[in-house]
Copies of this chain bind each other. A is one copy, B any other.
Amino acid sequence: MGYEYDAAIAVTRTGDGVFDADLEAGWMVGGGINGGYLQSVVGNAIRSFLEGSGHPDPYTISSYFISPSRPGPATVRVGLIRTGRGTSTVSAGIWQEQDGVEVQRISALATYGDLGALPAGPEHLADTPPQLPPVEECVLTSDSPEDWKKFVPMLDRFQMRLDPATAGAFVGAPGGNNFIQGWFKLVDDRPIDPIALLTVVDTLPPVTFELGIPGWAPTLELTAHVRGTPAPGWLRIRHETKNFTGGFFEEDCVVWDGAGRLVAQSRQLALQPRPM
């Protein structure tokens, strides 16, 4: 029996650079589908497209969100921009039929390579892994009330245990922090590979929850950098916004593995929530 995550991101090649996908309702959040999950569907199609190139791993992917995706059939298209000795760069996107018309959902650029082939160089680290209480002292987000989970079905897709100090939105009142952090695993312990990391970076609740700012914040763009293949086990994830200003806010996410290595980094730009 396979992992549910693999079924959710599965793609079937139907033509040159064309893939069928089936967007999973279980990854919905509010009225749309989680952007990180969509990014992994695209990332999976790109990996399939690049089979044989020697470039199986995403190094970087930038996803621009065009319109809200809906559960159900979708078409992923991938086009080669250039393949070289160390990397391949592609453009890609997801489309869905809506009222008889094909509508684009996301547009992406990505550069793939081989994470295993990168030489170990000098290291200069100014960052450290998120400092978290033990897993069992953290707040399991899938323990949320059922009416909340009806609004955010994706909470059942993973085991996320939030640092209680930053879990305000889940324990009653916003803590006022500009960051949220916790432990992460997929629901059925499916190992996190570079494609799944493209989902992980977008799973934490919006920092606006912790800042006590109501409303829905549309993400314009999400860029993820994969820096390594994670060791098995719990990941430490954290995202923060340092500049909630000018009508926008950025959310910077980091993912560290159990071996103490930074394995992914992302930044997204969102418009500030409008009064509803």
**Interface residues of A, Cβ cutoff 8 Å to B:** 59-60, 62, 64, 66-67, 81-82, 86-87, 89, 91, 104, 107-109, 111, 115, 118-127, 178, 211, 213, 220-221, 223, 225, 227-228, 240-250, 261-263, 265, 267, 269, 271-274
Q: In the bound complex, how far is the Cα of B109 from the Cα of A107, in angstroms?
A: 8
Chain B residue contacts of A240, Cβ below 8 A = 126
Chain B residue contacts of A261, Cβ below 8 A = 245-246
Known: A118-B247, A120-B247. A221 touches B62 (CB 8 A): yes
Q: Evaluate contact between B178 and A126: CB separation under 8 angstroms.
A: yes
Chain B residue contacts of A119, Cβ below 8 A = 247, 272, 274
Known: A122-B213, A269-B225. A60 touches B220 (CB 8 A): yes
Q: A60-B220, A66-B81 are in contact. List 11 more A-B contacts (CB 8 A).
A: A82-B104, A86-B271, A109-B109, A121-B244, A122-B244, A123-B245, A124-B178, A126-B240, A126-B241, A127-B243, A225-B269
Contact of A223 among B59, B123, B223 (CB under 8 A): B223
Q: Evaluate contact between A121 and B272: CB separation under 8 angstroms.
A: yes
One complex includes copies of this chain to the number of: 2
Chain B residue contacts of A86, Cβ below 8 A = 271
Q: Evaluate contact between B221 and A269: CB separation under 8 angstroms.
A: no
> How far apart are A202's CB and chain B's nearest CB, in angstroms?
15
Q: Which 10 A-B pairs have the closest CB atoms?
A: A118-B247, A62-B62, A124-B244, A121-B272, A227-B246, A127-B242, A126-B242, A60-B221, A228-B246, A223-B223
